[in-house]
Amino acid sequence: MNSDELILKNEPKRNFIHEIIDRDKEAGASAVVTRFPPEPNGYLHIGHAKSICLNFGLAKEYSGRCHLRFDDTNPSKENTKYIESIKEDIKWLGFDWSEHLYFASNYFDKLYEWAKALIRAGKAYVCDLPPEEVSKTRGTLTEPGTESPYRNRSIDENLDLFERMKSGEFPDGSKTLRAKIDMKSSFMVLRDPVMYRILRVTHHRTGDKWCIYPTYDWTHGQSDWNEGITHSICTLEFENNRALYDWFLRTLESLGVETGSKRLPKQIEFARLNLTHTVMSKRWLLELVERGVVDGWDDPRMPTLAGLRRRGFTPESIRDFCERIGVAKTNSIVELALLEHCARQDLNRRAERRMAVLKPLKITLTNYPEDKIDKFEVKNNPDDESAGTRNLIFSREIFIEEDDFRENPPKHFFRLMPGGEVRLKDAYIIKCNEAVKDSSGKIVELLCTVDPDSRGGQSASGKKVKSTLHWVSAKYSESAEARLYNPLFLTPNPYDFPKGQDLLFNLNSDSMEILKDCRIEKELASAKPGESYQFMRLGYFCVDSRNCVPGHLVFNQTVTLKDDLARVEKKK
Ligand code: ATP
Ligand code: MG
């Protein structure tokens, strides 16, 4: 067993979060309850997969449970189509929240009551400063903020104004409810953060019931508490927010409000996943979709789970990737090559081998009779006997890859050339006698002869040839389309663009190559959308789930057979 297989088969790697949970359990904590809390404002990406594997994985290891909760506090950016895609992607990845599906909007009533409890305790106030003014008076890391002139309104006035905010008396953006904490705090987040804003937008679940919406910060920790989440695992950029979340929770606890749980959730931060040549911010992914750079959220070049799935990545390969990158406290950038490596490892075990020619060059075998065929029984997967065998059909006219022939070969070119011999995989050794050209001088056909003593590809006389090429019979093949992909961004760090430019500066204009006249062996013509195959010598290919029509298959190249991402760097 090699080291890669070891990783695939081993128990999950331990990380610092295991240590924390173990200590909590020793101290008598109850069952572990985690959650994955997406905002329904985009599709899930490979970074989310890290968080999903971590949260659902921990729940499974500790025999606890993991909730799926949509943090839907921003109706202007949210959409039910995102909710459906997120559910589909989590299931596809192999995880199940069973009956534990929640929405932060389920707690809008409760949050409203709790906000009033804070007002009654003198810990929140209605502020009339416009949003720009609120941020201007917040101060900086080195200077304290200034108190709002509305900060010391009476409790009764605050209760009355807040009620009227809710009942729609004031225009959008004209008032906010703010927590009354400390404008001088060294934690910027504690400088009287906004808890509610007025926003007349229909919510996908609560409709037009509300014209005030709680902020994410006011909602997130309370939602966790209400659901009895024991460990609120989030990415490092929320480290500072922890002070605020704790303030809200402890203050509410001291006021004795009713929640679903006695125990406050414990926030633990880990480093988010960054991948070379990849952007993961949903804002930018949305831009790529809206500016038409890609063909939707599930474009096979997108780092979304929907895109990766369409490209041919398996859930197993993505889970393996998440396991290998581990969970740590410091931010880092993972090589895209590792994700591709995980796909190769998994597809190598499960994908059946087939032959396809992407850029066909016709060969006529002049000594092979027109009405003759040979059938060669070949293994579908040399690494997996259970995959069985199939028949390859050989005939007088075949196709090989254009690139596998050179009229004037450079040194160390061992494939086909005038007067040269190669093996056609599992079939015959052939010799090239002539290259036929059209009037423009382009080679359109090769005239070759088969060595009749090499049936099955092995020479009876022990003759050696240096190359083995893939091929398909002209008559017993079908036409198909293949799409080859390169990363969307040329630079390892796409965010590294000059001042005044934006992300598109680093865009790779060559991220997709469409080959419309490929030939695939007959056996492949019945392949179904979503199925993956290894095209010999070319890589792993998955039947596209969108663009196939009867009689015309489209294949997406998932990965090449060997790591060649360096090709991207060279193109720069
Ligand atoms: P983005 O920055 O892409 O817009 P987000 O953090 O706003 O993402 P959410 O929907 O809030 O997206 O994410 C849900 C969960 O996924 C959060 O707990 C978040 O911490 C986690 N998550 C998001 N991106 C990553 C990442 N790159 N690596 C690990 N976890 C991530
Ligand atoms: Mg977020």
Catalytic residue numbers?
39, 272, 282
> What CATH architecture is 31-270?
3-Layer(aba) Sandwich (3.40)
Task: Give per-residue pLDDT as tens, 105-155.
Answer: 999 999 999 999 999 999 999 999 999 999 999 999 999 999 999 999 999
pLDDT, tens digit only, all 572 positions of the chain: 344 444 444 567 899 999 999 998 888 777 999 999 999 999 999 999 999 999 999 999 999 999 999 999 999 999 999 999 999 999 999 999 999 999 999 999 999 999 999 999 999 999 999 999 999 999 999 999 999 999 999 999 999 999 999 999 999 999 999 999 999 999 999 999 999 999 999 999 999 999 999 999 999 999 999 999 999 999 999 999 999 999 999 999 999 998 878 889 999 999 999 999 999 999 999 999 999 999 999 999 999 999 999 999 999 999 999 999 999 999 989 999 999 999 999 999 999 999 999 999 999 999 999 999 999 999 999 989 999 999 999 999 999 999 999 999 999 999 999 999 999 999 999 999 999 999 999 999 999 999 999 999 999 999 999 999 999 999 999 999 999 999 999 999 999 999 999 888 999 999 999 999 999 999 899 999 999 999 999 999 999 999 998 889 999 999 999 987 766 655 55
Tell me how far the alpha carbon of residue 38 lies from the centroid of ligand 2, in angstroms: 7
Q: What's the rounded Cα separation, in Å, for the pair 188 and 183?
A: 8
For ligand 1, atom 18: residue with the closest CA? 234
* Strand 332-334 with 273-275, pairing: parallel
Ligand nearest to the CA of 271: 1
- Residues of the chain within CATH 2.40.240.10 domain(s) are 282-352+480-571, 356-470
Ligand 1 centroid, distance to 47 Cα (angstroms): 7
Which atom of ligand 1 is nearest the CA belonging to 235? 20
Q: What are phi and psi of 24, to 5 degrees?
A: -60, -40
CATH class for the region spanning 282-352+480-571: mainly beta
Please write the tens of the pLDDT for every residue from 62-100.
999 999 999 999 999 999 999 999 999 999 999 999 999
Mutate to test the pocket of ligand 1, among 51, 103, 286 (most ligand atoms within 8 A of CB): 51
pLDDT value for 265: 95
Cα 14 from Cα 331, distance rounded (Å):
18
What is the residue with the minimal CA distance to atom 13 of ligand 1? 38
Nearest CA to ligand 1 atom 27: 47
CATH code of the domain made up of 356-470: 2.40.240.10
Count other Cβ atoms within 10 Å, centred on residue 178: 22
pLDDT reported for residue 567: 63
Q: Output the CA 39–ligand 2 centroid distance in Å.
A: 6
Give the Cβ contact number of residue 465 at 10 Å: 18
| Tokens linked to 402 | 């254009």
Q: Which atom of ligand 1 is nearest to the CA of 280?
A: 3
Pocket of ligand 1 (CB under 6 A): 37-39, 47-48, 50-51, 234-235, 272-273, 280-282
Which residue's CA is minimally distant from atom 14 of ligand 1? Answer: 38
How far does Cα 186 stand from its chain's mean position? 37
Ligand 1, pocket-test mutation among 34, 87, 272, 279, most atoms within 8 A of CB: 272
For residue 372, how far is its CA from the centre of ligand 1 (angstroms)? Answer: 60
Question: How would you classify the pairing of strands 273-275 and 468-469?
Answer: unpaired
pLDDT tens-digit map of 389-429: 999 999 999 999 999 999 999 999 999 999 999 999 999 99
Shortest-distance Cα residue to atom 16 of ligand 1: 48
- Please give the pLDDT value at position 6: 41
Backbone torsions φ then ψ of 416, nearest 5 degrees:
-80, 140
* Distance from residue 284's CA to the centre of ligand 2 (Å): 14
For residue 7, the model assigns a pLDDT of 45
pLDDT the model gives residue 156 = 98
> How far, in Å, from the CA of 50 to the mean position of ligand 1?
9
Ligand 1 atom nearest the C-alpha of 281 is: 3
Query: Residue 299 in 3-state DSSP?
Result: coil
Q: What angle do CA 557, 558, 562 make, to 5 degrees?
A: 95
pLDDT at residue number 550: 83
Give pTM, 2 decimals.
Answer: 0.94
Q: 476 in helix, strand or coil? A: coil
Residues 6+ apart with CB under 8 A from 360: 399, 400, 401, 402, 472, 517, 518, 519
Average pLDDT, the chain: 94
Nearest CA to ligand 1 atom 25: 47
Angle, helices 315-325/336-350, rounded to nearest 10 degrees? 140
